[in-house]
Amino acid sequence: MWSNLPLFPARASTVAGSVDALYMFLVLVSTFFSVLIFVLLLYFAIKYRRRSEVERPAPNHGDLRLEFLWIVVPLGLTMIMFIWGAKVFFHMSTPPTEAIEIAAVGKQWMWKFQHPSGHREINELHVPVGRAVKLTMSSEDVIHAFYVPAFRVKMDVLPGRFTTVWFEATKTGAFHLFCAEYCGTMHAGMIGKVIVMTPADYERWLSGDAAGETMAETGAKLFEQLACHTCHSDQPDARGPSLTGIFGREVSLQDGSRVLADENYLRQSILAPNAKIVEGYRPMMPTFQGQISEAGLMQLVAYIRSLNGREGSMN
């Protein structure tokens, strides 16, 4: 039975090979020095053991060559680990611009996903093979962690802010999805599947059921329901700044600083509008804290992003 258990999960993403290579390098270096230290410790314990009560060893004044060696070698190895690890980290932290973007919400004890087209899923995520997929994630309650072992990706899902993770699957099939952060009594049951399909099958899956409204369309309705349009308009005398084309631009604030209008800035502006007041406007916007769900926040952000002339999605 044990012979059938793999040492590692299947490699099913473009980053899995680089993560495994770095991990194996760390394991081999650690193993080599652990064995070396143990062997030398045993050798020196035998060679320099005390043979009699009156024995006194000859004084040793050290060896500069040896000291230079054990400074340079560990420094070189740690720098290799740092540079290699940083390269993998920055690659995994920078999603491609053409990635399919999907909204994800973690809650005790399930995963909820919504595609740009409006399709919703619980504990299952359908994605196409060979396409980069970026998840914009948030939690409704406590800290969770999105973890797909076969993809070698893991990212904390936090209450109060958005986090992102991306992957590009290289194999079709169903792969385990876990919460890798203890989140309560049913933590072990917070599991799901990422179902990787061929592009043709994925398109058929998307068109198979009526998705209803896109995320941006739902966000537009929520924007109207909350009466956001009464202040945020393109009129010169509007009480709030125009949101057309704002996403991805730097915004000037009253304190003279500038901030990038990304997802987390828009989220904060909705829930804590007085935290960063836009230059030229008064702090009069009410907070919507507790009035909008995490899914609703993502839909509002999708709508605001669509005002840039892009598709009404989280991309």
Cα gap 146→176, rounded to integer Å: 11
> Is-contact 140 104, C-beta < 8 A?
no
Q: What is the rounded CA–CA span in Å between residue 209 and residue 191?
A: 24
Model confidence over 15-56: pLDDT tens digits? 999 999 999 999 999 999 999 999 999 999 998 888 887 877
Domain end marker among 211, 241, 256: 211
Angle between helices 64-93 and 16-47 (to 10 degrees): 160
47 within a domain of the structure (yes/no):
no
In this structure, are 200 and 228 located in the same domain? Answer: no
Which amino acid is present at 6?
P
Strand partners, 136: 103, 164
Residue 185 included in any domain = yes
What's the pLDDT band for 312 if we cut at 50, 70, 90? very low
What pLDDT, in 10s, does the model give residues 164-217? Answer: 999 999 999 999 999 999 999 999 999 999 999 999 999 988 887 655 788 888
256 or 132: which leads in pLDDT: 132
Q: Are residues 236 and 97 in the same domain?
A: no
Note if the pTM is more than 0.85. Answer: no
> Closest Cα partner for 247 from 175, 192, 301?
301
Neighbour tally for 223: CB within 10 Å: 19
Q: Which two tokens stand for residue 139?
A: 């939690």
Co-location of 146 and 30 in the same domain: yes
CA 175 to chain centre: 18
Torsions phi, psi of 42, nearest 5?
-65, -45
The packing angle between helices 294-306 and 215-225, to 10°, is: 100
Query: In this structure, what token pair is assigned to residue 276?
Result: 């960063």
For residue 314, the surrounding DSSP H or E stretch is: none
How far apart CA 116 and CA 128 sit, in angstroms, is: 14
User: Hey, what amino acid is at 104?
Assistant: A
- Looking at the structure, tell me whether residues 115 and 153 fall in a common domain: yes
**Which among 145, 180, 211 is the end of a domain?**
211
Place of tokens 């669509």: 306
Helix (H, G, I), strand (E, B) or coil at 124: strand
Phi, psi of 260, deg, nearest 5: -80, 130
Q: How large a percentage of the chain has pLDDT more than 90? A: 58
**161 and 286 share a domain?**
no
Measured on CA atoms in the order 50, 53, 58, 63, is the torsion positive or negative?
positive
For residues 130 and 157, state if they share a domain.
yes
Q: Match 């072992």 to its residue by tokens.
A: 149
Question: Of 178, 195, 211, which residue constitutes the final position of a domain?
Answer: 211
Look at residue 311 in the predicted model and tell me its pLDDT.
41
Q: How far apart are CA 315 and CA 300, in angstroms?
A: 13
Tens of pLDDT, residue by residue over 139-168, are 999 999 999 999 999 999 999 899 999 999
| Shared-domain flag, residues 21 and 159 | yes
| 34 and 143 together in one domain | yes
286 and 153 in a single domain? The answer is no
Residue 244 belongs to some domain of the structure:
yes
Is 315 part of a structural domain of the chain? no
How many domains are contained in the chain?
2
What one-character-per-residue DSSP string does 232-278 give? Answer: BSSSTT-SB---TT-TTSEEEBTTS-EEE--HHHHHHHHH-TTSSPB
Cα(168)–Cα(151) distance, rounded to whole angstroms?
A: 8
- Our CA dihedral for 180, 84, 94, 199, rounded to 10 degrees, sits at -80
Please give the average per-residue pLDDT across 118-129, as a whole number.
94
Q: Are residues 164 and 112 in the same domain?
A: yes
Is residue 185 domain-shared with residue 292, that is, in the same domain? no
What CATH number did the domain enclosing 295 receive? 1.10.760.10
- Domain with 98, as residue range(s), is 1-42+64-211
Rounded Cα distance, 101 and 17, in Å = 23
Please report whether residue 311 resides in a domain.
no
Rounded to the nearest integer, the mean pLDDT of the chain is 89
How far, in Å, are 22, 68, 72, 85, 104 from residue 29 at the CA level? 11, 19, 15, 14, 38
